[in-house]
Amino acid sequence: MKVFSDVCILIWKNDIPLPSRAPISAKLVANMLSVAGADHIITMDLHASQIQGFFDIPVDNLYAEPAVLKWIRENISEWRNCTIVSPDAGGAKSGGIFSKVTSIADRLNVDFALIHKERKKANEVDRMVLVGDVKDRVAILVDDMADTCGTICHAADKLLSAGATRVYAILTHGIFSGPAISRINNACFEAVVVTNTIPQEDKMKHCSKIQVIDISMILAEAIRRTHNGESVSYLFSHVPL
């Protein structure tokens, strides 16, 4: 009998050791899941891909990109006149977000842009610089997660002031802690779209801008394929029916 664990979002931001040599919490969770008996891990859009190396058992990291592309084509009528935007050039430099943004832009055959942000301290952005053109275009911010939403809300203002006609945010993991909901309600978003890796029913009661992409069928199909010894690579570019 195979024991699977669907780990969509836990503490995967904590992959870098602190200066004080504090333990890497993601590695701790990896060890706990292995000890608990899991023999295969399925994740969705890991914040840092190197986390897969923390496990001593097989890990399949799936991507929300196919579901995101489907949502854009079905829900944004002007998607052919859009620009895909990375809200964090630091994330772009790391490869993960940049790769995701450019991949979505390529598959939609549209332009992409990025925003360089300078932080004074964690979760606080001092200054933003837009690199790319969004004038008279729909701007779609794409990121793997949003916590307090300070960055994406500042980015939305920046895009609107740069001439964007409408602004959307599409995020894999909507953590929405602290002032996040208030910030989204007061921001200029047409919609903030997240997957259901984290339940959003309660947040949606307090914010009409939040919309959810259901990725349960992707996870279910990944489990079926893995259980039957089939490749999951099909799911990297397709949404199962």
- Which CATH number fits the domain that encloses residue 225? 3.40.50.2020
pLDDT of residue 82: 98
For residues 209 and 223, state if they share a domain.
no
| Interval 15-49: pLDDT, tens | 444 444 434 677 788 888 888 888 888 989 987 77
Asked if 76 and 158 sit in the same domain, the reply is: yes
Is residue 29 domain-resident?
yes
Residues 51, 37 share a domain: yes
pTM, two decimal places: 0.87
Ordered DSSP codes for the chain: ---EEEE-SSSTT--S--TT----HHHHHHHHHHHTT--EEEEES-SSGGGGGG-SS-EEEE-SHHHHHHHHHHH-TTGGGEEEEES-HHHHHHSHHHHHHHHHHHHHT-EEEEEEEEEEETTEEEEEEEES--TTSEEEEEEEEESS-HHHHHHHHHHHHTT-SEEEEEEEEE---TTHHHHHHHS--SEEEEETTS--HHHHHH-TTEEEE--HHHHHHHHHHHHTT--SGGGGT----
Domain tally for the chain? 2
Using one digit for the tens of pLDDT, what is the confidence trace for 172-195?
A: 999 999 999 999 999 999 999 999
**109 and 179 belong to one structural domain:** yes
Burial class (CB in 10 A: 0-12, 13-18, 19+), 34: middle
List Cβ neighbours of 53 (8 Å cut-off, separation of 6 or more): none
Domain that holds residue 110: 65-213
* Co-location of 112 and 58 in the same domain: no
Residue 241 lies in a domain: no
Residues of the chain with pLDDT below 70 are 1-24, 89-96, 119-126
Do 90 and 53 lie in one domain? The reply is no
